[in-house]
């Protein structure tokens, strides 16, 4: 079976945008409001000759419970459980958020291989803002722009090297 890669992160960081960028279509719904992805969404894709199944996770639980931490935690735990590797997305423009630390803790506990994407980096001004994400205790953050497709190739190189 193909390895499974779960995209995780708190709502609104750009997970669905990155998912669409990687699979090359508009499969996942991108919304300015957090909590739009209804369920986990699966799509087979490949990079550099390596096939894998990419999973987008949403924030419906967050909407229902009205409690961001609980919803994020549940989504992340479910997704990581069934994944072989994790693509953790944070928002470089918003900066480090307490929920990011919580997600990072779950990932570290899972011992699954992970890459850290610092999203929304359309220009160098924001690249320096990615340094604070070293505090997450994961690998070095990879600055990307899912919206513009900047540096996503480097991110995928790194990701498939873990599979
Ligand atoms: P999700 O909740 O994590 O799935 O986030 P979405 O993919 O739905 O995106 C949330 C918001 O961030 C939307 O308004 C997107 O247009 C915006 N967004 C996503 N990626 C980027 C990016 O690379 N740069 C910028 N500037 N905005 C982005
Ligand atoms: Mg989404």
40 contacts 57 by C-beta, under 8 angstroms: yes
Segment 126-143 mean pLDDT: 89
Please check the confidence at residue 62 and state whether its pLDDT lies above 50.
no
Name the residue of 9, 12, 16 whose CB sits within 8 Å of the most ligand 1 atoms, as the mutation to test its pocket: 12
Sign of CA dihedral 2, 52, 136, 98: negative
Domains held by the chain: number: 1
Which residues span the domain enclosing 63? 4-161
The answer for residues whose C-beta is within 8 angstroms of residue 61's C-beta and 6 or more apart is 70, 71, 74, 75
Cα 33 to ligand 1 centroid, rounded to whole Å: 10
CATH of the domain at 43: 3.40.50.300
Mean pLDDT over the full length of the chain: 85
pLDDT for 91 equals: 95
Q: Given the CA of residue 93, which atom of ligand 1 is nearest to it? A: 26
Give the separation between CA 5 and CA 84, rounded to whole angstroms. 6
Please check the confidence at residue 65 and state whether its pLDDT lies above 50.
no
pLDDT tens column, 76-126: 888 899 999 999 999 999 999 988 998 999 999 999 999 999 999 998 777
Binding-site members for GTP are 9-16, 56-60, 119-122
ipTM: 0.99
Please check the confidence at residue 31 and state whether its pLDDT lies above 60.
no
Q: Given the CA of residue 13, which atom of ligand 1 is nearest to it? A: 3
């Amino acid at each position: 079976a193909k390895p499974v890669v779960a995209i995780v992160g708190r709502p609104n960081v750009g997970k669905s945008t990155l998912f669409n960028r990687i699979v090359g279509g508009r499969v996942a719904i991108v919304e300015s409001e957090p909590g739009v992805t209804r369920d986990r969404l699966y799509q087979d894709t490949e990079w550099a000759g390596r096939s894998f199944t990419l999973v987008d996770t949403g924030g419906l639980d967050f909407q229902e419970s009205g409690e961001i931490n609980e919803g994020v935690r549940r989504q992340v735990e479910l997704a990581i459980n069934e994944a072989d590797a994790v693509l953790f997305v944070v928002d470089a423009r918003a900066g480090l958020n307490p929920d990011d630390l919580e997600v990072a803790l779950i990932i570290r506990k899972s011992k699954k291989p992970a890459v850290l994407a610092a999203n929304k980096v359309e220009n160098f001004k924001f690249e320096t803002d990615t340094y604070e994400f070293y505090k997450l205790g994961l690998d070095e953050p990879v600055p990307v722009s899912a919206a513009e497709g900047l540096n996503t190739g480097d991110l995928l190189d790194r990701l498939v090297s873990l599979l």
